[in-house]
Amino acid sequence: MSFPLLTAAAALPAAGAIVTAAVPAARRTTAKWLALLFSLGTLALAVAVMVRFDPGGDRYQLTESHAWIKDFGVRYELGVDGIGVALIALTALLVPFVVLAGWHDADPLETHSKRWRPTQGFFALILMVEAMVILSFEATDVFLFYVLFEAMLIPMYFLIGGFGDRAHAGGDDRAAAQRSYAAVKFLLYNLAGGLVMLAAVIGLYVVAGNFSLTEIAAARASGELDMATNTERLLFLGFFFAFAVKAPLWPLHTWLPNAMGEATAPVAVLITAVVDKVGTFAMLRFCLGLFPEASRWATPVIIVLALVSIVYGALLAVGQRDIKRLIAYASISHFGFIVLGIFAMTSQGQSGATLYMVNHGISTAALMLVAGFLISRRGSRLIADYGGVQKVAPVLAGTFLVGGLATLSLPGLAPFVSEFLVLVGTFARYPVAGVVATTGIVLAALYTLVLYQRTMTGPVKEEVRAMPDLRPRELAVVAPLIALLLLLGVYPKPLTDIVNPAVRHTMSDVQQKDPRPDVEAAK
C-alpha cells in the first residue's frame, strides 16, 4: 500500500493541535514553537502532494478509500484534483504565517490576571482548523465533507469569541460583548446553512443510494442514475445555500464583517483566506459536479447575486471607518468575482476563479497582517486615528501599499491575472455582467488608495510619531507573501498548469463549451 499522503497532510496538524494543547501552561513559548514546526511540516507534506500530483493524469489522484459507517454506505474517501491541490497548498502556506503573526496575540494581558488567555489553546485551535480545511479539500465522500464542513465551525467560534482583537475603543466589557456577538452570529449563520445542507445530503442519499462523489457522477454520466429535474434543483439549492453562506455571497454575508472586525488579524486571515475558500471550492466540486442541470438553471440568478456582492461590497468598503471592516467588505466584493467566474461557465472564468481563490488568499493575508501590525502599535482600528505613518515607519507603509495594490488587482501582481481571466470568461458569455463587474475594479482603486492616503500620508499625528517600523519577525511574515504576489503576478504558469485540467473536467460535468469568438482568427 502506498503512503497515505492525503491523510498525513491533514493528520499532522491535527496531531500538532493535540500536542500543543497538552503543553503545560507555563511553557507558552514551547507551544508557539511546536505550532510553528507542525505547520511547517504540514507545508512540506502539501509540497509533496503537489509534486506527486500529475496534472495530465486521472481526475482524482492519491486516492484513499476505507469503510467508515457501513450500514449507510459512508466511506472515508479522499482524492484530489488540480483545484484541491492548489487550495491545499494555499492553506498549508498561510498557516505558518498566521502562527508567526499571532505570536503574541494570546499572551496573558497580566501575569496573574483573571483575563489570562490560554496561549496553547489559541495555537491548537489554529492547527485544528488547518487540519479540517485540508481534509475538506480532499474529501470525495459527501457525508465526510459535510461533517468537516460543520466541525470546523467549533474551533473558529472559539478563536473569534475567545481570542478577539484587543484594539477596541469601548473597553474590555464592550470588547467582550462584541466578540461574543460576532462569534455567535458566525456560528448561527453557518449552522443554518449546514442544516439546510444536511437535508440535501440526506436527499442525495435517498436518490443515489450512496455518498461517493465519484460513483454518483459516474452513474449520472452513464445514465444509470437519472434524477428528476425538480429533485435535482431542490438538492442543488440545499448545497448552494450552505456554500453561499460560507463563501460569503450577498445577502448571506453579514456575519463576515463582524467576525473579521472582532477577531485578531491572523484569525481574520484564517477566516477569509482559508475557511471561506471551502465554500467556493465546494461550488465547483459538488454543485457543478453533482447537479449539472440545476447549476445551469440557477446560473442567471447566481450571476446577479455575484454582481451585487461585487458592487455592494466595494461600495461599503469605500464608506468604512474601521480598517479591518474595510478589508472584510473588500473580501465580499472579491468573493463575488470568484462566484461570477465559477458560474460564467467558461474555462477562462473557472480557471480565473480558482486562481482568484489562491491569489486573494495571499493578497488579503498580506494586507490584513500588515494592518494588524499597524493596529497593534496604535491600539486603534479607526482610520481617522492614523496619519503620516510612512514618514516614521516606511517599511510598514510600503508593505501596506503593496498589499493594497494587490487587493485592487494592479497589473504585475498576482490577483490581476485572476481578475482578468474572470472578466474575460464573463464577457465571453455574459457581456453585460462583465461590464457591471468592472465597476468593482474602479471602486477597489478608490477604497484602497483612500485608505492608504488617510493612514500613511499627510502630517504625522502625535500618537504615531514614535511608532516603530516592522520588526524582524513581522518582516519574516510579510516579505514572503509579497514575493509570492510578485512571482505569481508575472509567472502564474505553475498554478495554471495544475488547475486547467481540473477546470476542463468541471466544464465537461456541466456539459458546457466556451463560446466561439465573434471574429474568426486570421489565417
At 9 the pLDDT is 94
Q: Within a 10 A sphere around the Cβ of 288, how many other Cβ atoms?
A: 24
Instruction: Please give the Cα distance from 422 to 349 (Å, whole number).
Output: 4
* Sequence-ordered list of residues with C-beta below 8 angstroms from that of 352, at least 6 positions apart, any chain: 341, 417, 418, 419, 420, 421, 422, 423, 424, 425
Decide which of 80 and 379 is more confident.
80
What average pLDDT score do residues 132-139 get? 94
pLDDT, residue 6, reads 93
| pTM for this model (two decimals) | 0.90
Q: Residue 431: what residue type?
A: P
Cα separation of 480 and 272, whole Å?
A: 19
Q: Is the pLDDT of residue 166 over 50?
A: yes
Q: Which of 128, 131, 125 is nearest to 46 (CA)?
A: 131
| Pairwise CA distance, residues 84 & 415, whole Å | 19
Most confident of 55-69, 128-142, 368-382: 128-142
Per-domain boundaries in the chain:
5-509
Share in percent of the chain as helix, strand, coil (round to 5) = 75, 5, 20
Segment 56-80 shows an average pLDDT of 87
Mean pLDDT of 485-492: 92
Using the predicted structure, report yes or no on whether residue 98 has a pLDDT greater than 90.
Answer: yes
The secondary structure of 473-512 as a DSSP string is HHHHHHHHHHHHHHHHHH--HHHHHHHHHHHHHHHHHTT-
137 vs 464, higher pLDDT: 137
Whether the CB-CB separation of 382 and 169 falls below 8 Å is answered with yes
Q: What is the pLDDT of residue 1?
A: 47
Mean pLDDT on 45-68: 89
CA angle centred on 482, ends 478 and 483, rounded to 5°: 115
At 226 the pLDDT is 80
What's the pLDDT at 109?
58
**Structural contact between residues 333 and 238, judged by C-beta atoms closer than 8 angstroms:** no
pLDDT of residue 168: 54
Residues 319, 315: Cα–Cα separation, whole Å: 7
Give Dmax (Cα) for the chain: 79
Cis bond leading into 266, ω under 30°? Answer: no
* Whole-number pLDDT of residue 290: 87
Q: How many CB atoms lie within 10 A of CB 309?
A: 28
pLDDT above 60 (res 110): no
Q: Are 276 and 247 in contact (CB under 8 A)?
A: yes
pLDDT(162) > 90: no
Query: What b/e sequence results for 380-399 when a residue is b if at least 16 CB atoms lie within 10 Å of its CB, and e otherwise?
Result: bbebebbbbbbbbbebbbbb
State the Cα–Cα distance between residues 398 and 302, nearest whole angstrom.
38
Residues listed for the chain? 523
Res 115 pLDDT > 50: no
- Average pLDDT of the chain? 88
Q: What distance in Å separates the CA atoms of residue 446 and residue 423, rounded to the nearest whole number?
A: 19
pLDDT at residue 124, rounded to an integer: 93
244-292 tens-digit pLDDT:
999 889 888 888 898 888 888 899 999 999 998 999 999 999 999 888 8
